[in-house]
Amino acid sequence: MKIALDAMSGDFAPHSTVEGAVLFTKEIAETEIILVGKEEVIREELKKYSYDKERIRIQNAKEIIEMTDHPVEAIRNKKDSSMNVALDLVKKGEADACVSSGNTGALLSASQLKLKRIKGVLRPAIASVFPSKKGQIVMLDLGATADCKAEYLNQFSSLASKYAELLLGVSSPRVGLLNIGEEVGKGNELTREAYTLLQTNQSIHFIGNIEATQMMEGKVDVVVTDGFTGNMVLKTAEGTAKLITSLLKETIQESLLSKIGALFLKKSFIHLKEKMDSSEYGGAIFLGLNEISIKAHGNSDANGIKNALKVADKFSKINLIEQLKKVIEEEAN
Amino acid sequence: MKIALDAMSGDFAPHSTVEGAVLFTKEIAETEIILVGKEEVIREELKKYSYDKERIRIQNAKEIIEMTDHPVEAIRNKKDSSMNVALDLVKKGEADACVSSGNTGALLSASQLKLKRIKGVLRPAIASVFPSKKGQIVMLDLGATADCKAEYLNQFSSLASKYAELLLGVSSPRVGLLNIGEEVGKGNELTREAYTLLQTNQSIHFIGNIEATQMMEGKVDVVVTDGFTGNMVLKTAEGTAKLITSLLKETIQESLLSKIGALFLKKSFIHLKEKMDSSEYGGAIFLGLNEISIKAHGNSDANGIKNALKVADKFSKINLIEQLKKVIEEEAN
């Protein structure tokens, strides 16, 4: 297996990406990593490590797509960017998967453009894991398709079901439709229509509507929603966590006693962060495309990159795409 | 002024409602409270307090709408419920406002049915305050109208702008359109259409799209969205706060040191809870109706009920409804 890694994108690149690649090769046998980006910069960074030179090579790419770049324009204008070139390697069959922690919109556009949708796939979806009280769950769509039809949600749920099975190791994952009430008939037009489709979908284990609060209690393995709502939920959860952290920090500063208390709790706060952290699952995937394209979190450290590479490697080896194609074919029959 | 209080609804009723009414009369002069519910139960509860008997009276209502009741059926079948009777008092002009901490769906349906919409109002919206880093902000719709058109959002923003001005005391409140990206053109069909309407709305100070994370940083005073998204954001924020609390509690139990640390931090945790708490703003209001109907939080204590009564009293005195009617009239011209 060969994985193309966009070595220049992400908050801590190229340090995080190069170290992540090295860590990966020490943990996983055989699979090769192609570091895509400015050759001289990556070469300099690689000097810091001892690594198997047969398994890490560099593919030069002179440009970088920034987080602030306009997605579609960046893809069009920066043809020689690390992101574009990494995806080109997959397109040409020179790599089995692509990993990038760059601009999500750009990566989505480029992945769609270069890798194309699986035949029969109506719309792509971004799937990722989300923390719950009982462990991680798979959620989609997180923003690929803002305006969805009920049929899209139905297909998302079939794809995500297979994905969750393989990623989390759950057989017959429980699928919930994200909604503003549990009862049948609740919600907006889209969720009401989607409910009736999901109910008769033979390739999933549908358990009904689920509210955001229940989702976080871990009552499902897969949560399906449209890209607008999914992205909103993701950002609301992030915003709430940030707000709580920031207000708590403020109140802790109010007395010496609370400052000492916070020191005593340092380990607990770290544990909490770990429990909320989803980086061991390697980030998000664009479901519905012909090849594996993985978006690692923008603030991934070397460990986060290593985990994203491991997920890309695992899904290349078990041929995720073929399995998803089968899901789509079965649905068509 | 006279306020009808549904004395039987809410997690801690009738204790919370009766005590809340007594506290209200000690803080605010003149306004009378009509406690609506089972007479003998309320009379028994009232015995615990010394209060001005001229200002608190009981209106008997034999039934109670439970949180688990189906909203529309409950309204239809339990005609003599405390909620229905309280709203009837407002409808008949025997009270100036209604406060209830009961079943939201039932209260919304009953309020719409009995109080009717202001002429020209396209759809009603639930507005409430939401915590941010810089204090409370007003958000709507939180679930009254799941499927919205752009015109509804535009009207919501005009009504909410006036409401925020009066509730929070902000002049020319900054209005943001909740969206999954800041840039013009981002989002789904609804938000893109709403953006163009809001841009030319003369009665508001529109600052553009706002993401949930920025909203919680306090970059706006009013956040407008459809009822599906608003309800989703509300529940996601609640779920995230609960998840963090529950995971933190678990990790604190892991060592003696962290247990001691948590004791030292008790005050900080209480301060944090206060900062996140919106009960001093009295709960949610159904904007767009001909009378004032306020939904206090289901878990309101006596203080929460007192605050809801204070908001109802304030808005009756400054004649909120007339001011909202003017907004609608100006919009029509």
- Tell me the pLDDT tens digit for each residue of A95-128: 999 999 999 899 999 999 999 999 999 999 999 9
Mean pLDDT of A194-206: 96
Mean pLDDT of A58-66: 96
CB A128 within 8 A of CB A137: no
Tokens of B98: 């209604």
Residue in chain B lying closest to A212 (CA)? B236
Percent of chain B residues past pLDDT 90, beyond the cut: 77
Cα-based torsion angle of the residue sequence A315, A316, A322, A327 in order, rounded to the nearest 10 degrees: 10
Answer yes or no: do A232 and B233 touch at CB < 8 A.
yes
Mean pLDDT of A264-293: 83
Cβ-Cβ contacts under 8 Å, B238 against chain A: 212-213
Cβ-Cβ contacts under 8 Å, B246 against chain A: 133
Answer yes or no: do B258 and A236 touch at CB < 8 A.
no
CB B257 within 8 A of CB A271: no
Answer whether residue A145 shows pLDDT above 80: yes
ipTM metric:
0.89
Least trusted range by pLDDT, from A236-250, A253-267, B134-148, B300-314 = A253-267
Tokens of B83: 């909620």
Q: What burial class does residue B95 get, using C-beta atoms within 10 Å of its C-beta: 0-12 exposed, 13-18 middle, 19+ buried?
A: buried
Q: What is the pLDDT of residue A61?
A: 97
B64 pLDDT band (50/70/90 cuts)? very high
Answer yes or no: do A240 and B235 touch at CB < 8 A.
no
CB A162 within 8 A of CB A321: no
Cβ-Cβ contacts under 8 Å, B189 against chain A: 147
pTM metric for this prediction: 0.91
Which DSSP helix (H) or strand (E) runs through B33?
Answer: strand B32-37
**Polymer length of chain A:** 333
Smallest CA–CA distance, residue B263 to chain A, in Å, is 7
Residue in chain B lying closest to A182 (CA)? B68
Least trusted range by pLDDT, from A6-15, B259-268, B322-331 = B259-268
Mean pLDDT of B147-151: 97
Mean pLDDT of A36-50: 97
| CATH homologous superfamily, domain A1-121+288-326 | Isopropylmalate Dehydrogenase (3.40.718.10)
Cβ-proximal residues to A239 (8 Å cutoff; 6+ apart), any chain: B211, B212, B213, B214, B215, B216, B217, B237
Cβ-proximal residues to A291 (8 Å cutoff; 6+ apart), any chain: A90, A91, A96, A97, A98, A115, A321
Phi-psi region of A250 (alpha: psi -120 to 50; beta: other; left: phi over 0): alpha
Percent of chain A residues past pLDDT 90, beyond the cut: 77
Mean pLDDT of A309-318: 95
Answer yes or no: do B272 and A262 touch at CB < 8 A.
no
Cβ-Cβ contacts under 8 Å, A187 against chain B: 146, 228
Half-sphere exposure of A135 (CA within 13 A, CB side): 10
Mean pLDDT of A305-329: 95
**A174-190 per-position pLDDT tens digit:** 999 999 988 888 899 99
Answer yes or no: do B264 and A241 touch at CB < 8 A.
no
A283 pLDDT band (50/70/90 cuts)? confident
Q: Which of B67, B77, B47, B73 is nearest to B6 (CA)?
A: B67
Percent of chain B residues past pLDDT 70, beyond the cut: 99
Q: Indicate the domain borders of chain B.
A: 1-121+288-326, 128-278
Answer whether residue A274 shows pLDDT above 80: no
CB A311 within 8 A of CB A281: yes
Q: What are phi and psi of B5, to 5 degrees?
A: -110, 120
B278 pLDDT band (50/70/90 cuts)? low
**C-alpha R_g of chain A:** 21
Mean pLDDT of A177-206: 94
CB A278 within 8 A of CB A130: yes
B253 pLDDT band (50/70/90 cuts)? confident
Cβ-Cβ contacts under 8 Å, B229 against chain A: 228-229, 232
Answer yes or no: do B228 and A263 touch at CB < 8 A.
no
B167 or B281, higher pLDDT: B167
Smallest CA–CA distance, residue B199 to chain A, in Å, is 21
Answer yes or no: do B236 and A238 touch at CB < 8 A.
no
Q: Return the SS3 of A305.
A: helix
DSSP letter string, A171-205? SS-EEEEE-S-SSTT-S-HHHHHHHHHHHT-TTSE
Return the number of other C-beta atoms located less than 10 Å from residue B168's C-beta.
17
CB pairs under 8 A between A and B: 190
Please name the member of B242, B251, B257 whose beta carbon is closest to the beta carbon of A272.
Answer: B251
CB B226 within 8 A of CB B196: no
Residue A70 DSSP class: -
Q: What are phi and psi of A212, to 5 degrees?
A: -55, -35
B42 or B279, higher pLDDT: B42
What is the distance of C-alpha A14 from the center of its chain?
20
A269 pLDDT band (50/70/90 cuts)? confident
Answer yes or no: do A213 and B241 touch at CB < 8 A.
no
Q: What is the pLDDT of residue B204?
A: 96
- Mean pLDDT estimate for chain A: 93
Mean pLDDT of B316-327: 96
Answer yes or no: do A248 and B239 touch at CB < 8 A.
no
Look up the CATH number of domain B128-278: 3.40.718.10
Pairing of strands B284-287, B125-130: antiparallel
Answer yes or no: do A235 and B212 touch at CB < 8 A.
yes
Q: What is the pLDDT of residue A83?
A: 97
- Mean pLDDT estimate for chain B: 93
DSSP letter string, B150-175? HHHHHHHHHHHHHHHHHHH--SS-EE
What is the distance of C-alpha B73 from the center of its chain?
23
Answer whether residue A64 shows pLDDT above 70: yes
Cβ-Cβ contacts under 8 Å, B237 against chain A: 236-237, 239-240
Helices B256-264, A256-264: crossing angle, 10 deg rounding: 160
B299 or B211, higher pLDDT: B211
Answer yes or no: do A213 and B232 touch at CB < 8 A.
no
Answer yes or no: do B265 and A252 touch at CB < 8 A.
yes
Tokens of B181: 């990206």
Q: Which of A211, A214, A225 is nearest to A143 (CA)?
A: A225
Answer whether residue A235 shows pLDDT above 80: yes
What pairs with residue A34 in β-bridges? Answer: A4, A57
Percent of chain A residues past pLDDT 70, beyond the cut: 99
Residue in chain B lying closest to A256 (CA)? B264
Cβ-Cβ contacts under 8 Å, A241 against chain B: 240, 244
Cβ-Cβ contacts under 8 Å, A240 against chain B: 216, 236-237, 240-241, 244
What pairs with residue B210 in β-bridges? Answer: B178
Pairing of strands B205-210, B174-178: parallel
End-to-end CA distance of chain B: 32
A128-278: same fold as A1-121+288-326?
Answer: yes
d(CA A41, CA B92) in angstroms, rounded, equals 78
Cβ-Cβ contacts under 8 Å, B188 against chain A: 146-147, 226, 228
Residue in chain A lying closest to B183 (CA)? A70
**B3-38 per-position pLDDT tens digit:** 999 999 999 999 999 999 999 999 999 999 999 999
Cβ-Cβ contacts under 8 Å, A243 against chain B: 131-133, 216-217, 276
